[in-house]
Chain A
Amino acid sequence: MRIPVQINESSAEPLYHQIETQLRSLIVTGQVAEGTLLPSIREFAADLKCSVITIRRVYQDLENEGLLRTRQGTGTFVTRVDTDDREEYKKQIVLEAVRSLLDAARSVGYSPEELKALVDETLRKEERK
């Protein structure tokens, strides 16, 4: 299968980090389901035009986190994510987004009050849709 991971050329993050973050989020949100057989390391590397060294590192890291499991001769699979873990991961993903929102606000000189007001206003608009 082809995994919807995309490398962002205007990111300051190293390649393995970009791929790892996106793949982790796909797994913990359940968008790539438990039991899914991931592409081989070489296939995934070709797909993203990166090296197998990078993909091996990503698979290794996510395996250490318990999100993936490699079975000798068959390939790398997505394992079951505990509900508690899933909630924690989801929180982490949103937290990261909130942090970059804070950075953006700070860089243009928004006060915390102005930011809160804007977030509330946006939420209200979204709910009305």
Chain B
Amino acid sequence: MENTVVEWRGVVKRRERMTLGPVDIELRENHVTALIGRNGSGKSTLMKLAAGLIYPDAGEISWFGSAYPDGIPAEVRTRMSYVPENFATEEDGIKMDAAAEFRSFWYPSWDWQRYEELLRKFEVPGGKRLDKLSKGQRRKFEIAAALAVRPKLLLLDEPSSGLDPFAWKTMLEEIRRCVEEDRATVLLSTHIVEEVRRMADYLLLLDGGRSLGIREKDALLDAGREVWIEDDEELVRELPGVTEWARESEGMIRFVTTDYAGAAALLGEAGVRPIRARALELDEMMEHWMEGRLSS
């Protein structure tokens, strides 16, 4: 039903302080994937590989169904937009509109109306030189320019850094619009849990360069529960995915599981009804995932 927009097979990239990979992932068309992981886990390296700015040492990356070992043709490149974490200094001396003019020349799908509209929404003053913009303004300009391309693949490396909460909200709305109107596929790296909650369909987790794969956000959330039941130690010891348990009071046990479906099935068999259950927060589940406490 859905096409795969980006596909990685055994991708490895050696960097000075860490090696990324092997990474095997697929990004489905018209979905948003949040790239998460600690500092230095290889997120920006993965982003640059996805943008075709650097090439893997091993493995293969394909875009829109084809791999391009001899370089990505312009026709394919112009369907992608990438906003890096740190901006290149080459364009520093030029004015915003000249930089936009330059991009409109390279990208046939460039939409001036959308560009103007985005600058207005982000309240970026026009006509300024790029190196005269504040950090936040510069990011807003780059995001506006990336969206004005009306990309099919949108790659954003920590797009929210330096944005105030209002601009942040506008940005999320506009990315969403890009997904709806342009049917874009989005990969965005972030440290902000709320951003993942609001935007992501899938999560991709890196840990020290190692890929822990992709999971569906809601499946991840549905798997985690903190549960209170009537005291039955033997039963709790049998339940799958239990990461901690304690006897909270006379006759009551509390436990945390990362396999609630499995645990609920066993509880049902034993005829035990939870006294109370609470969904774990997304960040709690992300931590369990990072610590390898999730069942596959």
- A interface residues (Cβ-Cβ under 8 A, vs B): 9-12, 14-16, 40, 42-43, 45-46, 49-54, 103, 107
Contact = CB atoms under 8 A, between A and B. Distances in A.
B152 interface: no
A15 B221 contact: yes
User: Which of A9, A49, A54, A103 has the largest count of B CB atoms less than 10 A from its CB?
Assistant: A49
B273 interface: yes
A16 B218 contact: yes
A54 B218 contact: yes
B201 interface: yes
A51 B221 CA distance: 11
Contacts of B278: 9-10
Interface string B253-283: 0000000100010000000011111110000
The 10 closest A-B pairs by CB, nearest first: A51-B201, A12-B277, A14-B222, A54-B218, A51-B218, A49-B197, A51-B217, A15-B218, A9-B279, A10-B278
B198 interface: yes
A52 B217 CA distance: 10
A10 B218 contact: no
A15 B187 CA distance: 24
B218 A12 contact: no
Nearest to A7: B279
Contact of B217 (A42, A43, A50): A50
Contacts of B176: 42, 46
B148 interface: no
21 contacts: A9-B278, A9-B279, A10-B277, A10-B279, A15-B222, A42-B180, A46-B176, A49-B197, A49-B198, A50-B217, A50-B218, A51-B200, A51-B201, A51-B202, A51-B216, A52-B201, A53-B31, A53-B216, A53-B218, A103-B273, A107-B273
Contact of B201 (A9, A12, A53, A107): A53
A53 B2 CA distance: 12
Interface residues of B, number: 26
A101 to B, nearest CB: 14
Nearest to A14: B222
A63 to B, nearest CB: 15
B3 to A, nearest CB: 15
B246 to A, nearest CB: 19
Given A42-B180, A50-B218, A54-B218, A12 B260 contact: yes
B225 interface: yes
B179 interface: yes
B179 A42 contact: yes
A94 B260 CA distance: 27
Nearest to A54: B218
User: Which of A14, A51, A103, A107 has the largest count of B CB atoms less than 10 A from its CB?
Assistant: A51
Contacts of A107: 273, 275
A37 B218 CA distance: 25
